Amino acid sequence: MKSTKFSPMTQEQIDKKWWEIGNYFRRNSLWMLMYCTGCCAIELPPAMTSAYDMERLGMGPMATPRQADVLLVTGYLSLKTLRRLIYTYEQMSEPKYVVGFGSCTINGGIYHDSHAVINKLDQYIPVDVYVAGCMPNTEAVMNGFTDLMGMIKNKTARGWLDYKERNDWYKKNQLDSLGEVLVHDEFHE
């Protein structure tokens, strides 16, 4: 006969439990950092204001990467911007998520043959959700956000863990494209 006495959870199980509780809070309060690099950024004002009102999902704009949970990359990334994007991404506090907007972040979009613009964002930083389109509908943007929430719930939004685990790979890609992530130009001694 099985004993009915209380069996204490292992530390791992407790952590898991806490993580699930944390996930509830995290998905219901996504604070965005908008890295408005391209034209897709124009989809954010209707998403934020009375037309679609993302605040009802608990989302809101934040001022700095330290406070934000999700990084929105809204459009093409030139090499100069990519450096800064990586710097910004690394400053965010964990767990952190990335949403790529428009075809530019997926495959370069209309800039696919430009020498100054990168084509695939997920080579450089892990992207959890892509919102396709050139540019995407606001409905698509909102759908992307709900998708991200679902992924957080299912624990599949693992991009930030991936960035830790495969850091060498990401760093290698970054260096291949950029030469180096840091910049030294006339403004910096």
Partner 1 sequence: MNFASIEMILMITLASGVLAYLIGKLNAKLGSIVTILVSMYVTIAVIYFGYNGELVITTEYLPLVTFKVTNIGLFFASTVTFVFAMVSFFNPFFIDKYKFKALYSMLYIFSLVGILGVFFTDNFMTLFVFFEFTVWSSMFLIPMGKSTKSTTLYFAMSTIGSFALLYAIFLMRSQSGSFDIDQGLAMVSGAKATWTYILLSVAAFAKLGAFPLHLWLPKVLGDAPDPVTAVFSGGLEKLGAFVAVMGLVRLAPVSFNIGAIDMDFARYVIAFIGSITIIIGTLMAIRQDDAKKLLAYSSMSNGGYIIVALTIGNGIAISGALYHVLAHAIASAAAFLAIAAVARKTNTTKMSELGGMIHNMPITYMVYLIAIISMAGIPPMGGFISKWMIFQAVINKGLPIIAIGVFFGSIGSFLYVFRPLAALFLGQQLPEYKHLKEAPFFMVLPMIILSGLIIYTGVLPNYILGKINEIVVDLGATAVTITEYTITGFNGTIHPALISGMFGVGVFVAFLIFITFKKSKKVTLMDTYTAGEFIYTEELLHYSVDFYAPLERLYEKYIHIMEKTYDSIRNKIAEVGHFFKYYFFTNKPEVSVFWIVIIVSLLLWGESLW
Partner 2 sequence: MVVNILVGLGVALFGFVLQTAMGGINRKIVARVQKRIGPKWYQEFIDIFKLFSKRSVSHGWIFDFGVIMALGGIIATAMFMPVTANIIAFEGYDNFFIFVYLLAVGMLGMAMSASGSGNPLASIGVMRALTTMLAYEVPFMIVVMTIIKLTGGTSSVSEIAAFQQIAGNNWFIIALPLGGIVAIISLMGMLGKKPFETYIAPAEIASGPMVEYGGKQLGMLFVMHEITVFIEVSLFIHLFLGGAATLGVYLLKYFLVYTALNLISSVYARFKIDQVVVFFYKWPLFMAVTQAIIAIYLGWVI
User: Does the footprint of partner 2 cover residue 69 (CB under 8 A)?
Assistant: yes
Shortest Cβ 151–partner 2 spacing (Å): 16
The C-alpha torsion from 160 through 112 and 40 to 60, rounded to 10°, is 10
46 binds partner 2 (CB under 8 A): no
| 109's tokens | 């979009």
Residue of 3, 7, 10, 50 that binds partner 2 (CB under 8 A): 50
**Least distance to partner 2, CB of residue 182, Å:** 18
At residue 91, the 3 state secondary structure works out as helix
CB burial of residue 23 (10 Å; 0-12, 13-18, 19+): middle
| Distances from the Cα of 38 to the Cα of 34, 56, 110, angstroms | 11, 26, 12
Q: How far is the CB of 87 from partner 1 (least distance, A)?
A: 6
Looking at this protein, which amino acid is placed at residue 47?
A
Report how far apart the first and last C-alpha atoms of the chain are (Å, whole number).
76
Binding marks (x or -) toward partner 2, 73..112, rule CB under 8 A?
------------------xxxxx-----------------
Binding residues for partner 1, per CB under 8 A? 35, 64-66, 83-85, 87-88, 91, 93, 182-184, 188-189
Binding residues for partner 2, per CB under 8 A? 18, 21-22, 25-26, 28-29, 31, 49-50, 53, 55-58, 61-69, 91-95
